[in-house]
Structure 1
Amino acid sequence: MSVTERSNAAAPTAFGAASAASTLSEAVVVHRNPLLRAGLVAALSPFFRARDGAESQPAAASVPERPPLIVADHEGALAMLAASATQPRRGGMAPAHWLVIGPVSHGGRVRDAMSAGVLGYVHAACSVEELRDAARAVAAGRRYLCRTAAGLIAEGWLGDDLTPREHDVLRMLCTGLDNKSIGQRLGVAPGTVKTHVKTLLQKLGARSRTQAATEALRRGLIEGSAMDDPFPLPPDCGAWAAPPVKSRGARANPAP
């Protein structure tokens, strides 16, 4: 075969590769971990026009044919989604499809991300094959949850069965307050609180208040930031206030 024939034979192959590359969806990796960001770009490159969002800028101001896939960490995705919600959309372009890669600690984080607009959530320790499956699904506009995230979401469905009052009691129970203290803050009798706590133990499958608090945190029913006392004592609760603790052997002062 002559040089010209070899050149002509190779031309369709090169054109075909360029044409295939042009049809790939765009994937922008904006994960805040530099090492993980580089690995994600490399893993997605065979199937997407993947680029490092921290080191490159969009190629042009034109609107892409399909919404881009954006791969980010949990905190970064929520922050950018919140910021983009206040900005006008270019040329009627559909919103980007978001995929979060990171640790999956509890269902509450996953639910928050999905509520904010994230379509996919995958554990950072996933395989390359699962990463690509998730990226393809999210790029096509479908939801994708890894097994860990899906399991935690399923466990967290219990939160929908709790009444608003039970949520309040659960939050204060997690701060270590006893029934009387919870009743002071809610303005109800300690017996009513005891009934709520009993119901919570049954719904959480817990045998003690400590186990109930641990289970609530694990399922994402209570955020760690809610461990501060969310209900301070009302100013007019003097009648509920506990008497001062007297040291052993001390005599109480007579009332004036």
Structure 2
Amino acid sequence: MSHLQRPDAAVEALVVHRNPLLRAGITAALSSVFRVRDAGNAALSTTGGPDRPRLVVADHDGALQALGAATRRVSPGPTGAQAPQWLVVSPAMNGGRVRLAMSAGVLGYVHASCSLEELCDAALAVAAGRRYLCRTAAASVAEGWLGDALTPRERDVLRMLCLGLDNKSIGLRLGVAAGTVKTHVKTLLQKLDARSRTQAATEALRRGLLDEPTSDFGELAGDLQPRRAVDLPATTQRVATRSSPLLGLAGA
């Protein structure tokens, strides 16, 4: 933490994380470098006015909801009031989630299993107006760039593949021959470095390649009636949990 300057003691950080254990751990960890306030599940609107914090630490969904509400708010904030900077601490991580949060206005994103020192470094950087991604978040964003290499049609095929549709069913919905779909699937397996359709679906979800629907697929989504879902491994169906120093600090 030596390379980052500690803020003035008056700088306030607000913790609004929905996970009570993580919230307690974050509050305890940041109390050494900020004047921290645990707001529970309170919305950002409760922090309005001249005393609004410089830093808000939240979960992914809470941050997106609050930032979306702030964007829709008609009345401006107090004159001269500085909008808080946002840091997300999340136990779930993929490139799509991270990119979505950053595009919404979040400056920092760290995994819930990060060290206490890294959390403080991230909070200090974000409070100073600088972006911060932990190694896991940065890697997930880098992996997610593969999505830019997928054509709109490949994305459509990948989405339907994840729904468990076979080549013939996909072809009927896209208006192409099953052989054409087979070619797209083969290309997807190569791009995702996957050996099977199930592995391709797993990789697509892990990398966050399917967070944003394509315009072509949007018109078809309502007509999809998958006969079976792709049988994804249990590690993909549930949020991976790893030992977190924050949880240990919360129980201290």
The bucket for the TM-score relative to the shorter chain is 0.7 to 0.9
Kept in 1: contact 2:158–2:201 (CA 8 A): yes
2:178 corresponds to 1:190:
yes
Once structures 1 and 2 are overlaid, which stretch shifts more, 40-49 or 139-148? 40-49
2:61 corresponds to 1:36:
no
TM-score, normalisation: structure 1: 0.73
- Aligned twin of 1:5: none
Cα deviation per residue 1:54-102 (whole Å; 9 max; x = unaligned)? 39965x94366xx610000111111111111111331253432100112
2:13 corresponds to 1:27:
yes
Task: Report the alpha carbon displacement of residue 149 of structure 1 after superposing the two structures with TM.
Answer: 1.1
Identity of aligned residues (%): 67
Within-5 A mapping of 1:219-234: 219-223=207-211, 230=221, 232=223
Determine helix, strand or coil for the equivalent of 1:171. Answer: helix
**Aligned-partner Cα distance in 1 for 2:173–2:49:** 56
**Aligned-partner Cα distance in 1 for 2:131–2:7:** 25
Task: Report the alpha carbon displacement of residue 22 of structure 1 after superposing the two structures with TM.
Answer: 5.8
**Aligned-partner Cα distance in 1 for 2:35–2:126:** 15
RMSD: 2.7
Identify unmatched segments of 5+ residues in structure 2.
1-5, 214-219, 226-252
2:123 corresponds to 1:135:
yes
Determine helix, strand or coil for the equivalent of 1:95. Answer: coil
Q: Which amino acid aligns with 2:55?
A: L
Task: Report the alpha carbon displacement of residue 38 of structure 1 after superposing the two structures with TM.
Answer: 2.6
Q: Which amino acid aligns with 2:72?
A: T
Task: Report the alpha carbon displacement of residue 23 of structure 1 after superposing the two structures with TM.
Answer: 5.4
2:90 corresponds to 1:99:
no
Shift in CA distance, 172/46, structure 1 to aligned 2, threshold 3 Å: same
**Aligned-partner Cα distance in 1 for 2:157–2:198:** 14
Q: Which amino acid aligns with 1:101?
A: V
Match for residue 76 of structure 2 among 65, 77, 89: 89
Kept in 1: contact 2:93–2:111 (CA 8 A): no
Identify unmatched segments of 5+ residues in structure 1.
1-19, 235-256
Task: Report the alpha carbon displacement of residue 105 of structure 1 after superposing the two structures with TM.
Answer: 3.2
**Aligned-partner Cα distance in 1 for 2:224–2:128:** 51
Kept in 2: contact 1:104–1:110 (CA 8 A): no
Kept in 2: contact 1:111–1:153 (CA 8 A): yes
TM-score, normalisation: structure 2: 0.74
**Aligned-partner Cα distance in 2 for 1:233–1:142:** 43
Within-5 A mapping of 1:1-256: 24-54=10-40, 61-62=49-50, 68-87=54-73, 88-90=75-77, 91-223=79-211, 230=221, 232=223
Kept in 1: contact 2:16–2:58 (CA 8 A): yes
**Aligned-partner Cα distance in 2 for 1:232–1:197:** 21
Determine helix, strand or coil for the equivalent of 2:88. Answer: strand
Greater RCO (CA < 8 Å, at least 6 residues apart): 2
- Aligned twin of 2:246: none
Cα deviation per residue 1:202-224 (whole Å; 9 max; x = unaligned)? 1111122222111111111125x
Shift in CA distance, 55/155, structure 1 to aligned 2, threshold 3 Å: closer
Which of 1 and 2 has greater Rg? Answer: 1
Shift in CA distance, 175/233, structure 1 to aligned 2, threshold 3 Å: closer
